[in-house]
Amino acid sequence: MSRRTVLYLAAWNVQAVHEGIVDYAHEGGWILDNSMCYTGAIPDGVVPDGVICRHAYRADIIDFARSLDVPTVAFEHDDRLPVPRVYYDEEEIGAMAARHLIDRDFKVLCFLHLGFTPYQMPRMDGFRREAEAAGCRFVALSPPQPPKSWHPAPGEAWTWLEQAMGTFDEPIGMMVTNDQIARPTIDALAHMGYRVPTQVAVVSAENDAMICEIAAVSISSVEAATRRIGYEAARMLDRMMDGEAPDRETLRVPPTHVEVRESSDIRAIDNIHAAEALRYIWRHYREPMRVEHVAEEASITRRHLQTLFDKHVGHTMQEEIARVRTARACHLLKTSALKVNAIAAQSGFNTSLHLHRTLQTIVGMGPKAFRDSGEMPELGCVPASVGLRSPRSR
């Protein structure tokens, strides 16, 4: 059998989508013409057996795809090109982000968009639904007019947000439409003097590591399964080229989890000193640490910080250090073959005896017994570095 030729028309190249299409092209033995991803120009003289189209509402791409009159799968919906499509489960992306923030005790949940992407407003619908079901205050944040750039720099372009932020007097959990917009949003918040995540925790969507991991504050993001979207679009097209009708006009691919990074790796704490102390503990619990170290970071006296921490967090700083170290040790005991002394070192305990005594106090058994027959304790919200993932964020 001759190999099929498939044309990928892309208004812009989303790497993960492209990778998913290539994954299936290898399986299907296709000849994939993906030249538009590199040149930006619609190819001339191609006679494809099928088309995958990321037209981004560009009339020239839509008209060209229609003129080919071959099986076509798209990502965006447009009445000018009424073909089957594969896309994100937008509402579930928003709902998952909201659950992530709710699990961290945020009571004010904001959804921020810049007005460029109305087709992603279902993300806000899912976010709002979860926020209101949990009894949280929901606030939509957007400028009166879309700014001139997708990446507005700190300054006048964010005056509207600075005014809106002045109305809040407690920690805010914020979802930003996607990673591209989350990065300048965090820059703008820092420019205004807000601390991320202790005053504003930020989560976005699509989990593009090339954005999220190099931002000034690394960005927590919903893993929206973008690569799978490309793969499923290619698989749908293959069946259409076989003469099969698609099972549905729109296949929505669900998100998998929240990839937690620094921008939301916190609990909502009303007092900034207690919140910064908690953040310090979460970032440094695997290192030698004393309460005095935490107080030095907070720039207040140890006694005052102890009082604030106990009042706003609900237990002492020493108990918090033991709690997160225990959570890390329990995770390693259940998921690795490391020896107990290595687990103690990787969890922040001075010695394996220190680990043994702490586990005995908190979970009622020592490391060996816990590894053999213990069940993971419910220790509440813990840092992402512990390795445990909240079931509500899956």
Q: What is the pTM of this model?
A: 0.92
Domains annotated on the chain, with CATH: 5-83 (3.40.50), 90-224+259-264 (3.40.50.2300), 281-383 (1.10.10.60)
Q: Write down the mean pLDDT value for the chain.
A: 94
Q: How do residues 286-342 score in pLDDT, each as one tens digit?
A: 999 888 888 887 778 999 999 999 999 999 999 999 999 999 999 999 999 999 999
CB 324 within 8 A of CB 384: no
The Cβ of residue 350 has, within 10 Å, a number of other Cβ atoms equal to 10
Cis preceding linkage at 71, omega within 30: no
Predicted confidence at residue 391, as pLDDT, reads 54
Over range 128-136, report the average pLDDT: 98
